[in-house]
Every structure is written in C-alpha cells, then in structure tokens.
C-alpha cells in the first residue's frame, strides 16, 4: 500500500513528466472552449437583464423548456433504465446491434432525428397515421412532440450512463442477496438500484441537460409555436434576428443552467458515485 508520501512523490514525478510542447496547444484548446463563454458573459446586457427576463417571451419559453426537459428526463428514466438493464445483463443474440441502435441518436444530426420522428409520428407517418385515424391524436407541433423529440435525442445519454453503472456494479452482491432469499425483482429493487443510483442520477442529469438544449429535432418535429413548442434554444435563435439583447440574456440563462448541471454532477463525483 503506498504511503501518502510515496503517493505525492509519484504525483510530483507525473507532473514533471509533462512535455512542454503540449502546453501551448492545451492552453489554446482551453481558450477555444472558454473564451466564447467569456464573450457571452462580457457582452451580456447586464443592466437591462432583469427587464428582459421578466419580459413576455422569456417566461413562457423558460417554463416550457423546464417542463419539457423534465418530462423528457422522466420518460427517458422510465424507458432507459430497463433498456440499459437488458443491455448490461441480457444475454441474447443481436445485443451489439441493439446497443448500436441505442447509440445512433447520439451521433445522428438532431434535424435528421426530427425528420425521422415526423415520418413515424407525423400525420402521414407510419404510426401517426393510425393515431390520427383511431384516436384523433396528432402529435406534431404539440408540447408532447417537444418532449418526444427531446427524449429521442437524450435517451442514449441515460442508457449509456446506466449501462456503465450496471456493468461496474459488483454482480456478486446480487449473488449474496440471492443466497439470503431475495427474488430477482427484490434484488433489483433493494440491491442493484440503490447501488447504481449515482449512475442513474448522473445519466438523468446528462439527459436533462441534453434535452434542455435540444434544438434541431424539436424545431423539425414540433415546430416553433410560442408557449407551446418554442423552447429556450428556439427562442434564442429567433430572438437573435429580431432582438439580440434578449437572445444574449436567454443564452446566459441557459449557460447558468448548464453550470448548475455541472455543479450537481460535481457533487456526485465528490461522492465517488459517477464512474
């Protein structure tokens, strides 16, 4: 077991082993990521900010965004945790294919996702046609459509996070619970779920952040109707043409939410839960 002294010595040697040639591109990379955010903060209309934030457009957009992102996260949790479970624990042919399918929305341009949703759930879509005919339900251009679009884009984040947590959890603990008489469902509920709770939490936070920022799939599938489907990112984009200060103010709000998300993730890291 390394003593604290030896550990710090090792850490010291690791630091001194850093090639100086890396430092410049590393600093550039950091600046590349941080400077735009700095510009946003610097150029923000701080004086008029309170007025803008209570203005007519911002309130509904912010409320809609929070509502739809929260609903999308809930939907992702309800569908994603079981899916992750099957991926992590199931032994069946085609599991790799299933995982690939789950990962597709992660790399797919969101606009394409929106088009795909439209072709499935739109009025003339594969399923949407029947929804319209049988139930009189039309999904596109409703708040439900916003939730669906956001969930479509965010679900892979949750599934991958939870699957990772499940793979990282010690299955022998489940064996131990089984020898104590617990049924599979009880083991899942009383042992596995509490053990992977930090992973689920981290996945949910990532999922929420992704849903909150969703733009492409939302505008394609749900359109941009004020108060119904016009979420914050859409509002920012539209305001940038007509009313730049509002756009900047809204961007600041989204940045603040992102920072909050990061901080909450950091708390999980501090508890050693996120792997």
x/- map, 112-151, other proteins, by CB under 8 A: ----------------------------------------
The angle formed by the CA atoms of residues 153, 154 and 157, to the nearest 5 degrees, is: 125
The angle formed by the CA atoms of residues 11, 17 and 21, to the nearest 5 degrees, is: 135
Q: Which of 79, 88, 74, 72 is nearest to 213 (CA)?
A: 72
Span 150-179, contacts to other proteins by CB under 8 A: 170, 172-173, 175-179
Is the CB of 29 or the CB of 168 nearer to other proteins? Answer: 168
CB of 240 to other proteins, least distance (A): 47
CB of 239 to other proteins, least distance (A): 46
Stretch that binds other proteins, among 118-126, 160-168, 180-188, 251-259 (CB under 8 A): 180-188
How far, in Å, CA of 228 to CA of 144, rounded? Answer: 9
Stretch that binds other proteins, among 28-36, 137-145, 187-195, 221-229 (CB under 8 A): 187-195
How far, in Å, CA of 82 to CA of 102, rounded? Answer: 13
How far, in Å, CA of 232 to CA of 22, rounded? Answer: 38
Span 188-207, contacts to other proteins by CB under 8 A: 190-191, 194-195, 197
Report how far apart, in Å, the C-alpha atoms of 198 and of each of 34, 178, 187, 220 are: 28, 23, 17, 34
Binding stretches for other proteins (CB under 8 A): 170, 172-173, 175-183, 186, 190-191, 194-195, 197
């Amino acid at each position: 077991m390394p003593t604290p002294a030896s550990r710090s010595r090792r850490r010291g040697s690791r630091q001194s082993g850093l090639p100086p040639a890396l430092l410049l591109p590393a600093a550039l990379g950091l600046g590349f990521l941080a400077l735009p955010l700095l510009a946003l903060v610097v150029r923000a209309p701080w004086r008029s900010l309170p007025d803008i934030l209570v203005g007519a457009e911002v309130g509904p957009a912010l409320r809609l965004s929070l509502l739809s992102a929260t609903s999308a996260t809930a939907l992702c949790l309800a569908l994603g945790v079981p899916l992750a479970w099957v991926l992590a624990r199931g032994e069946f042919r085609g599991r790799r294919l299933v995982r690939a399918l789950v990962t597709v929305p992660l790399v797919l341009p969101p606009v394409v996702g929106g088009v795909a949703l439209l072709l499935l759930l739109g009025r003339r879509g594969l399923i949407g046609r029947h929804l319209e005919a049988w139930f009189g339900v039309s999904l596109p251009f409703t708040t439900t459509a916003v939730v669906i679009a956001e969930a479509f884009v965010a679900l892979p984040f949750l599934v991958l996070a939870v699957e990772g947590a499940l793979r990282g959890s010690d299955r022998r603990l489940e064996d131990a619970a089984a020898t104590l008489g617990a049924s599979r469902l009880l083991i899942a509920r009383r042992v596995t779920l509490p053990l992977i709770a930090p992973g689920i939490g981290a996945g949910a936070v990532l999922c929420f952040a992704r849903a909150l920022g969703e733009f492409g799939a939302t505008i394609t599938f749900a359109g941009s109707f004020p108060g119904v489907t016009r979420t914050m990112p859409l509002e920012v984009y539209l305001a940038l043409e007509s009313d730049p200060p509002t756009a900047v103010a809204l961007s600041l709000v989204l940045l603040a939410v992102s920072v909050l998300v990061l901080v909450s993730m950091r708390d999980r890291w501090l508890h050693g839960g996120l792997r």
